Chains A and B, each alone.
Chain A
């Protein structure tokens, strides 16, 4: 079992926190701040004790399988759900806690929905104008036009939503949310209704637009590539808990829990035994234990799971480690092999397709890296 540890800055436990010396600064700059937020529906925890901070101007991304509560969390920040305990703060002001809730319409938080939710009876311009109260007619109009041109829809001002393509509707939704200059922008699976190709280009554009307007944003998605493309900070939600909150690179290379390790990217686990706190012994030999980032506490003698990414394995005829090909999957430049070690443990290996190994063929392999991430079993 991975020990569930949810620490706010990835640094509390780490003794080698050179990457995170800015944690204190981050804390001071925290713009959106969730502290031990729990949300319950009908007596059942949907989210339990979630904490993280997002700095001003950053784009955060919550990633998780469907049903993990990520949309609920977003809706709580927007003010559509109340929290059972904990608090949500924005720019130092409490938005939600156990005792008080600021109504959604008073939060000045913009939101972009999965289905865009454009008002079907209003033109593009009027959709964008909708949230611009308290401005003179001309001011509102020039602000709306500015946003519409920013999202690249200058000559679509008069179009009705149903006349637009999915990508265009998405842009209108973004312009409408940004028009009142929200203190925070929330995006709920904003690209899931689009073609894969459009998704990539649009997510780049959206990041650009959000950065340009200097808006702090939090996005929810189940697509990790989308999250990697958009996020400055990335959180992985699973089983009601925030498993990790860190940069995308760290989440991939220093996963905080076994779930994160298997959910982000591909990976297999093989057994290992801790020789000392810094060394682990496996079928593939001895490894240094990776001590960057978050890790679970283990002592020597503990049996642990060792994370191996498919690209961590390379072929080496000099190696003394032999593995049998159990299945293979052609991917163009590479084959993805499932290999079986002599003790029956299986692992994935991504090998160049110049060599086409047959099923049951024995090949010699070795690990590429000398340090690995381990999890207590």
Chain B
């Protein structure tokens, strides 16, 4: 576009920059719509805020996760203060420090687990949907079997048998269990895409199957895959936090679920430590909450019928 080349002074003002960004985005209609959908904007802003909080938070605390930051016993209950913005636990740990470190770990778990689950689900869904026939029957049969299994019990059993659990172990474990849902969703998308003209064309040009799957099918469901990933990210986090509450969390390191479990175990709410009982969970909730908004908004963007025009 012409205005990009001319040295329009407006482009250096913040408004001008935004304008340029939007004009660029306009070329990609979907992205433009995404960034103007209020739900998406709200979701992304809130999620970014939580993410930033997790990333920067550790730089604003002088304490370690398990470092004694003051006296926290009920007699001298330390409510949030300037020095300890989120107060102290009964044992004298700084809740802010634990929350930000825990949040970091939990976000990492979500990404790793979400990626694994999305990846497995994507591969199985693509192959099943594209190949059809016996392959489809077999893969979907398998998927359905796993889908009906209650996940948490499987995770409990497996987690209990791991002699040693790190944060990444947990993520991989959960990711390996929660993929079936993705496979099913991707398969049905693939089925509807594979009969489209450009796929047929690609097939006639004797392109290899993996290439068709990646370039012609997966690439065209990118937005869909992204939404699936978000769901799996949330799923991983919820499953891990549940496990952590049951005492099957990482035996090493910290995570938000462990921080919450510790609060529950110590009867934080009963004993009046609302900051300890509520705040860590609140951040987890806000993060998931923002992603629900993001997903609903994206749903509206990518399914034109839903656009509130």
Q: Do A and B come from one complex?
A: no
